[in-house]
Structure 1
Amino acid sequence: MQSRPPAARTGRPRSAAADAAILAATRQALVELGWSRLTLGDVATRAGVAKTTLYRRWPGKCELVVDAVAELFDELRLPDRGCLAADIEGVVLQFAAILGRPEARSGLMAVVAESTRDDALRERIRASIVDRQKRLVLEGRARAQERGELPAEPDPAETARTADLIFDMVAGAVVHRTLVSGEPADEQWVRGFTRVLLLGLTARPAR
C-alpha cells in the first residue's frame, strides 16, 4: 500500500509585512504600556491587523515579546576596530545600549522571569536570542585568528564550548550590570571588563 503524499498547506501565506508591523507594535506597546499592561488585542490594533492574524502567528504574549526583543539584538554588529580588545569593546557598548532601551529592558526581564516555570519559553529565548547572537563570538574569534591575535583551534567541539563560555561571560556581565545592578555600562566599565576578559584577574591595569 502506497503512502499518501503530505497534504498541502491551506490558508493564506504568512505576510512578512504583517509580522514586521506586529513586532514593531509590540515594542511600541512595551515602551508606552510596559509588560503588565500589554495585551495582544492592543498590539493587533496598533499593527492594523486582525486579532486572528496575530494569534495564528504567536501562541501567547510571552512568545510575541521574545520575538519582538530578539529583533533588537539582531541589530548587533561586530565592528572592525583593528584589534580584538577594541572589537569587543565596540560590541559590548552596542549590547549595553540595546539593554538600555525600555522595550528591551522590560520585555527581556519579564520573559526571563516567566521562563523560570516554562521550559518551552526558556528554549524559545535560547533559540531566538542567545543562540543567534553567538555568531558574534565566532566572528570575533575568526577575525582575531586571521590577525594572529589568537591561535587557531583545530577541534570544532572545543571551539563551540569556548564560544559558549565567552558568550555567557559577556552577556551575563552586561545584563547584570545594566538590568540587575542598574549601573551604566559606559566606556570606562567596558574597557575594564574587556581587560579582565582577555587577560584574567592577574592582569595589571594600564597606567
Structure 2
Amino acid sequence: MELGWSKLTLGDVATRAGVAKTTLYRRWAGKNELVVDAVAELFDELRLPDCGTLAADIEGVVLQFAAILARPEAKSGLMAVVAESVRDDALRERIRASIVDRQKRLVLEGRARAQARGELPPADPEETARTVDLIFDMVAGTVVHRTLVSARPADEVWVRGFTRLLLQGLTATT
C-alpha cells in the first residue's frame, strides 16, 4: 500500500511477494479482494482476553484493536477499501462478510462470558441478535473514528472511559 490505492496492482504485490502474478489471480480477482482479505487476516488476530470482568475484557480487546489500526498496513488498507467501497457495492459486501461479520464473534463471546459470570442477565436469542450488531458498530465505529478519522490515540485512559460509558448503556438496557 506504499504506492497508494490508485497505483497498487497485483503485479506490484506479486513482485514484492516473490511470486508470479498468476499465483495471486488464482486466489483473488483483483486488488479489492486481496486487500480486504489481508485486512481481515489482521483483524482475525483479535482475541477477547479473559481478564475476570466484562469491563477488563472489553478494555483488552479495544486496546488490541487500536494497536492493529495503528499498524501502517491496517490503516492504509482499511481506509483504502472503505473509501473504494463507496462506489462498489460488491466490495462493501465483501468487507461486511470478511471483516465485520467475522469479528462479531468477539461480541457474542464477551456477552456469553459476562452472562456466565453473572455480570449480564441471560438474554433471549432475538434480543441478542438485535444488540450484537449495535454493540459491534458502537465499539468498532468509535475506535475507527478515534484512531483513523480523528487521528487521536486510543490509549488506556481513553479506552477505560469509553468502556465505562459503553457498560452504562449495556447494563441500563439489559
TM-score scaled to structure 2, two decimals? 0.93
- Segments of structure 1 that go 5 or more residues without pairing to the other structure are 1-29
1:54-77 deviations in Å (ceiling 9; x for gaps)? 112111111110000110000000
Residue of structure 2 aligned with 1:175, choices 137, 144, 164: 144
The reply to whether residue 150 of structure 1 matches residue 150 of structure 2 is no
Which protein has the larger Cα radius of gyration, Structure 1 or Structure 2? 1
The total of aligned residue pairs comes to 170
| Counterparts of 1:117 and 1:158, CA distance in 2 | 33
Residue of structure 1 aligned with 2:89, choices 96, 111, 119: 119
| Counterparts of 1:34 and 1:75, CA distance in 2 | 25
The reply to whether residue 110 of structure 1 matches residue 80 of structure 2 is yes
Off by >4 Å, runs of 4+ in structure 1: none
How far is the alpha carbon of 1:52 from its aligned partner?
1.4
TM-score scaled to structure 1, two decimals? 0.79
Give, as a single letter, the amino acid of the residue that structure 2 aligns with 1:157: E
Give, as a single letter, the amino acid of the residue that structure 1 aligns with 2:76: S
How far is the alpha carbon of 1:96 from its aligned partner?
0.4
Partner of 1:194: 163
The reply to whether residue 71 of structure 1 matches residue 41 of structure 2 is yes
CA-atom RMSD in angstroms: 1.3
Report 1 or 2 for greater relative contact order, CA contacts < 8 Å, sequence distance ≥ 6: 2
Give, as a single letter, the amino acid of the residue that structure 2 aligns with 1:116: V
Report matched runs for 1:13-162 at 5 Å. Answer: 30=1, 32-153=2-123, 155-162=124-131
Give, as a single letter, the amino acid of the residue that structure 1 aligns with 2:33: E
1:31-67 deviations in Å (ceiling 9; x for gaps)? x444344221111122222111211211111111000
| Counterparts of 2:51 and 2:3, CA distance in 1 | 38
- Structure ranking higher in helix proportion: 2
| Counterparts of 2:92 and 2:3, CA distance in 1 | 24
1:121-177 deviations in Å (ceiling 9; x for gaps)? 000000000000000000000000000000001x31221111111000000000000
Partner of 1:163: 132
Q: Sequence identity, in percent?
A: 88
- Segments of structure 2 that go 5 or more residues without pairing to the other structure are none
